[in-house]
Structure 1
């Protein structure tokens, strides 16, 4: 019997890093995501194939049930090691999928390019959690850590307000449909960032951030409620300055696009993946001339 599961990708618009310390964040699920197809197999093993958005196979391997139960690592295969780790943590939460099965044939299919950083891991974790009927936030925490906002995006089909209160996720779906969304774009920087490394760097530098968190919360509230493009851009710039001070890093606009006529905001780990661009004029030519040819409109990106 074939079972199919699907999860949305994600973009964190406000609260990167500080969401780990209970800041109120705005997150948006994307129109692109990943599915998981599970069929019955044999021989106490999982035959696994992962497809990129263009149909190419980026992972193709066999995982023995014994690899999962013992949490075996594979020195020359980091993808397989990570997948086994996720499945091992899943096994600890619900062992039935190993103890009561003969085997599986599993495939995953991304609808965005794997390197875009829209949630290859989080969509996989949420799909596995749905399949095995375990809590996705617990699985994420045990396997990788992180705030969990990406799991909330995977599970929701609208914008969300996300906050960690006593390490528990509080999710509030909201209506977020800016009247000026034709002025919002997402540009891929082609620099994959390691989230674990970025979070560790933040932990080392953050100091006393209580005031900054209050300011970020106010910015999140303002962005949700404003109907003016200028006000939206102003709040985005305030957010960038605050995080720049906390992280002791220059903003992405200062580093890469100082001559750009508009506002640019980092999304997620600073220095990689996507940035959000707010511009009165279509900015595609500017970014292509700079060597950044993946420029996605709000309409095409956001669910």
Structure 2
């Protein structure tokens, strides 16, 4: 067979982090960065898998027996990447056994962003595998990694969305979020990776405090989509950050690291890692560079146009 290539977008969650798990409306945007998956036929009974980072360096490679995938037989050595891959492929196989029947493959994955950026290394992989197997990516997520699924929705969509779990089922719709003041919105990488899984687990122990917050977050999300001025946008994002700080019993990222900054700083996704959003009338690059954060991206450099 000729090689088949699948692609999925990365993601950023602008509102509704954590509370999206309780049914809040969350504003999410796909990124310009993502991941490709290239599949071609290989030696029978085996899957040769090679993963490349953004610099085209191999960060994972292995040959896995198809039987190991069918029977979910993980590696006895301490190879969490291999075992996670087998887990995902096993659940994909359950949903569509035809793909791995009587044939082997050579598979390559190619990231277009650094692995530690937290833009969806796992979600883009799951969505790509789902495309390859022609199965439901949300079901594959639920049976492997878990999570709200907003990242899968971004992987499949080229425009901003409002994402919501209704009776635990994913629903999302494209929204006209294209702020005229986006030149004053920046994204700063914090130089540390935050595990979404552990952050979610921690939130689930606190969620009893979130009674009544879903409606507040829904209102903020809708106001942010509709707002016309930078000052209103900044106030709404600041209010969102304060609400989440109270629920999570965690000081805001601004209080912890950037208390002297003149603009607004908002956590994104799992608090304490990956990217933050910065809203500032002046270009804040010099401020963050001085603090040791050299990766400051403008809105148009990271968000899908």
How high is the TM-score relative to the length of structure 1?
0.98
CA deviations 1:237-264 (Å, max 9, x no partner) are: 1000110010000000001111111001
Q: 2-side partners of 1:66 and 1:292: how far apart?
A: 46
* Aligned residue in 2 for 1:40: 41
Q: 2:186, 2:279 within 8 Å by CA — same for their partners in 1?
A: yes
2:99 aligned counterpart, secondary structure: helix
> Quick check: 1:93 aligned with 2:89?
no
Alignment of 1:112-191 (within 5 A): 112-191=113-192
* Aligned residue in 1 for 2:284: 283
Q: 1-side partners of 2:113 and 2:266: how far apart?
A: 21
Q: 2-side partners of 1:224 and 1:136: how far apart?
A: 27
Q: 2:209, 2:247 within 8 Å by CA — same for their partners in 1?
A: no
Q: Shift in Å at residue 160 of structure 1?
A: 0.2
Q: Shift in Å at residue 147 of structure 1?
A: 0.3
* Aligned residue in 2 for 1:24: 25
Number of residue-to-residue matches in the alignment: 302
Q: 2-side partners of 1:64 and 1:285: how far apart?
A: 51
Q: 2-side partners of 1:96 and 1:112: how far apart?
A: 32
* Aligned residue in 2 for 1:68: 69
Residue of 77, 80, 85 corresponding to 2:79? 77
Q: Shift in Å at residue 175 of structure 1?
A: 1.7
* Aligned residue in 2 for 1:250: 251
Q: 2-side partners of 1:72 and 1:256: how far apart?
A: 44
CA deviations 1:213-245 (Å, max 9, x no partner) are: 111111101110001000000000100011001
* Aligned residue in 2 for 1:109: 110
Gaps of 5+ in 1: none
CA deviations 1:102-133 (Å, max 9, x no partner) are: 20000011111111000000001000101110
2:100 aligned counterpart, secondary structure: helix
Q: Shift in Å at residue 210 of structure 1?
A: 3.1
CA deviations 1:25-46 (Å, max 9, x no partner) are: 0000001100100000113111
Regions of 4+ moved over 4 Å: none
Q: 1-side partners of 2:301 and 2:176: how far apart?
A: 18
CA deviations 1:42-84 (Å, max 9, x no partner) are: 1311111111111111111111111101212223211111101
* Aligned residue in 2 for 1:219: 220
Q: 2-side partners of 1:237 and 1:6: how far apart?
A: 34
2:241 aligned counterpart, secondary structure: helix
